[in-house]
């Protein structure tokens, strides 16, 4: 008896648990494949974009060069943020160093939210999938016990189906959770490396633009 046959013989709860595990698996693998592709591009783009920035004579020229490398728009928002305007508002109050700190922090947070997108889903799937599978396991064992109580003579046929459902749900929960947990940890390290590079770059351009002659570099 195969897995589809066992699931087809299950009741509504068993089929709902199986469908939920399938949806969790599909969602996590979509995120894993997408984020792997995204972070591979982003890692190289950030390195090339920052190198292009420091090789440029001014910020305007740097923006044009960086736009050719920054396909995920991770560095360009930081360059756009240093163009501080609105002099007659609270946003323009304080010295230039304070203004740059505020606008770069806001731009950096927006960029980092894009990099971290999907991590919560992977963590949630990794943490909850075993318990969803456990629900199917408990329900399958319950069916086995009910089947035993309803017959005077116990046969393997009466308990094989429910026990098989229970074992399948246990394995399915682990099969969904393990890739999600591994991906969360591995991809989280890549995100952390890119975040460190962007934070260092934001700090460097803040010190550059807040220092003497920073205004002249805008042209």
pLDDT in tens, 147-166: 666 655 655 665 666 666 77
Residue 2, judged by CB atoms within 10 A of its CB (0-12, 13-18, 19+), counts as: exposed
Please give the residue range of the domain that contains residue 181: 3-218
Q: Are 136 and 17 in contact (CB under 8 A)?
A: yes
SS (H, E, C) the chain: CCHHHHHHHCCHHHHHHHHHHHHHHHHHHHHHHHHHHHHHHHHHHHHHHHHHHHCCCCHHHHHHHHHCCCCCCCCHHHHHHCCCCCCCCHHHCCCHHHHHHHHHHHHHHHHHHHHHCCHHHHHHHHHHHHHHHHHHHHHHHHHHHHHHHCCCCCCHHHHHHHHHHHHHHHHHHHHHHHHHHHHHHHHHHHHHHHHHHHHHHHHHHHHHHHCCCCHHHHC
| Range with the poorest average pLDDT among 109-113, 200-204, 213-217 | 213-217
**Mean of the per-residue pLDDT values for the chain?**
82
- Polymer length in residues for the chain: 219
Report which of residues 95 and 126 the model is more confident about: 126
pLDDT digits (tens, 9 = 90+) for 21-69: 999 999 999 999 999 999 999 999 999 999 999 898 888 888 889 988 9
Tokens of 207: 């010190």
pLDDT number for residue 206: 87
pLDDT of residue 86: 58
Domain count of the fold of the chain: 1
**What is the structure's pLDDT at 89?**
61
Helix axes 156-210, 12-54, angle to 10 degrees: 20
Within 10 angstroms of residue 133's Cβ, the number of other Cβ atoms is 25
């Amino acid at each position: 008896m195969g897995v589809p046959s066992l699931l087809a013989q299950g009741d509504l709860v068993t089929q709902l648990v199986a469908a939920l595990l399938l949806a969790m698996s599909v969602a996590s693998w979509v995120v894993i494949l997408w984020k792997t592709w995204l972070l591979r591009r982003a890692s190289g783009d950030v390195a090339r974009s920052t190198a292009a920035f420091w090789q440029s004579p001014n910020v305007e020229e740097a923006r044009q060069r960086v736009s050719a490398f920054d396909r995920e728009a991770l560095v360009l928002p930081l360059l756009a943020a240093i163009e501080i305007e609105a002099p007659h508002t609270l946003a323009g109050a304080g010295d230039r160093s304070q203004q740059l700190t505020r606008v770069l922090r806001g731009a950096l947070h927006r960029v980092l939210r894009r990099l971290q997108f999907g991590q919560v889903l992977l963590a949630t799937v990794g943490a909850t999938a075993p318990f969803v599978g456990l629900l199917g396991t408990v329900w399958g064992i319950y069916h086995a016990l009910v089947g035993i109580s309803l017959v005077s003579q116990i046969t393997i046929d009466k308990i094989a189906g429910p026990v098989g459902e229970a074992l399948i749900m246990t394995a399915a929960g682990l099969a969904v959770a393990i890739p999600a947990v591994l991906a969360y940890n591995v991809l989280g390290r890549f995100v952390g490396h890119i975040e460190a590079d962007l934070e260092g770059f934001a700090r460097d351009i803040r010190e550059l633009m807040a220092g003497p002659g920073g205004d002249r570099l805008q042209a």
